[in-house]
Structure 1
Amino acid sequence: MIKAIFSASPTNMTMAQALQWDYNPSLISVPVFFVSSTGNGDENLVVSGTHLQEIFDAVPDTVTKVRARRTEAGGGEERR
């Protein structure tokens, strides 16, 4: 049984559909934490702030959900 979900830089819905990776956030029924960054890779390719909000909003309001964005981080980068 899945008790919670952590989703790091989830692929935006448009790109996921184009890649035939369709998924439906409205089916999530356990607590979920979405995280992405404002760095170039996320913001301009994988999941912009707007796209992350769309995914977040698709999760039912009856589900505990959190979203966060790390400022200017990119894949595999450390911030000190």
Structure 2
Amino acid sequence: MATGWAGDGAVQDQIDATVKDGIKRARSKLPQGPGLTHCEECGAEIPQARRDAVPGVRLCIACQEAHDAEEAAFAGYNRRGSKDSQLR
């Protein structure tokens, strides 16, 4: 029977899908492979303490901060939309 309303659990399904997408995106951004001794962007030496703390590190702290700031400017949006946005 079609009622026009979302079925039971549809909201929770949407929340679960959003969380899974977020986890998948975060895991894809984790560095992989052996870490570098020198930054791949500026060539500065990466301290041993940073290499120990961040497996697979590829950037020095300054370049990593700049990279993170660029990514923050392109923050994602909710593709599925919220219920409120669908009602407008």
With structure 1 as the length reference, what TM-score do the two structures score?
0.25
With structure 2 as the length reference, what TM-score do the two structures score?
0.24
Structure having the larger proportion of residues in helix? 2
Say which one has the larger Rg.
2
